[in-house]
């Protein structure tokens, strides 16, 4: 539980940072940006949706990675580069075949994706709620 709480707070802080970076990148802190046709609610809706989709995408990539889809790519890339750069010690420390690599990887802890997906869904749901509110008052 403590692990999930830490991850939830860390992802929340990072998503707020990403939210602010999108605002800076889109120049929403400029006074002239608020005098146009786009209102504050539209701006917040757009940025919340972009942040939510980005965070949700990262969470889903972690879920896919935990399922083992990228295992063969990681194993093959490591084996290739250790062979090319002639890193004999690292090559000896590596598992001799792919099956042992996957068995050893399954024994390790997996990255928790649940908090990341929850934070992404919260951002997307806030964006949808604000968008519904925006169109209900027009």
Residue 67 has pLDDT above 80, yes or no: yes
Confidence grade of residue 44 (pLDDT, cut at 50, 70, 90): confident
Q: What is the pTM of this model?
A: 0.75
Average pLDDT over residues 112-120: 89
Judged against a pLDDT cut of 90, whether residue 4 lies above it is answered with: no
Q: Distances from the Cα of 98 to the Cαs of 43, 49, 105, 132, in angstroms?
A: 49, 40, 10, 50
* pLDDT, tens only, 118-131: 999 999 999 999 99
**End-to-end Cα distance, the chain:** 44
The stretch 87-111 carries a mean pLDDT of 76
**For residue 84, how many C-alpha atoms fall within 13 Å in the half-sphere facing its CB?**
6
Please determine, for residue 66, whether its predicted confidence score (pLDDT) is greater than 90: no
The pLDDT value given to residue 91: 65
pLDDT higher than threshold 70 for residue 104: yes
Section 18-45 average pLDDT: 74
């Amino acid at each position: 539980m403590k692990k999930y709480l830490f991850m939830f707070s860390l992802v929340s802080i990072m998503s707020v940072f990403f939210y602010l970076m999108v605002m800076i990148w889109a120049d929403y802190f400029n006074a002239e940006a608020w005098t146009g046709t786009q209102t504050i609610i539209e701006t917040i809706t757009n940025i919340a949706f972009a942040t939510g989709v980005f965070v949700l995408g990262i969470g889903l990539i972690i879920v896919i990675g935990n399922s083992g889809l990228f295992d063969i790519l990681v194993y093959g890339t490591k084996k290739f580069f250790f062979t090319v750069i002639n890193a004999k010690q690292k090559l000896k420390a590596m598992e001799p075949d792919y099956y042992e690599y996957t068995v050893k990887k399954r024994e390790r802890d997996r990255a928790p994706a649940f908090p990341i997906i929850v934070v992404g869904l919260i951002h997307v749901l806030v964006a949808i709620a604000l968008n519904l509110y925006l169109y209900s008052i027009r």
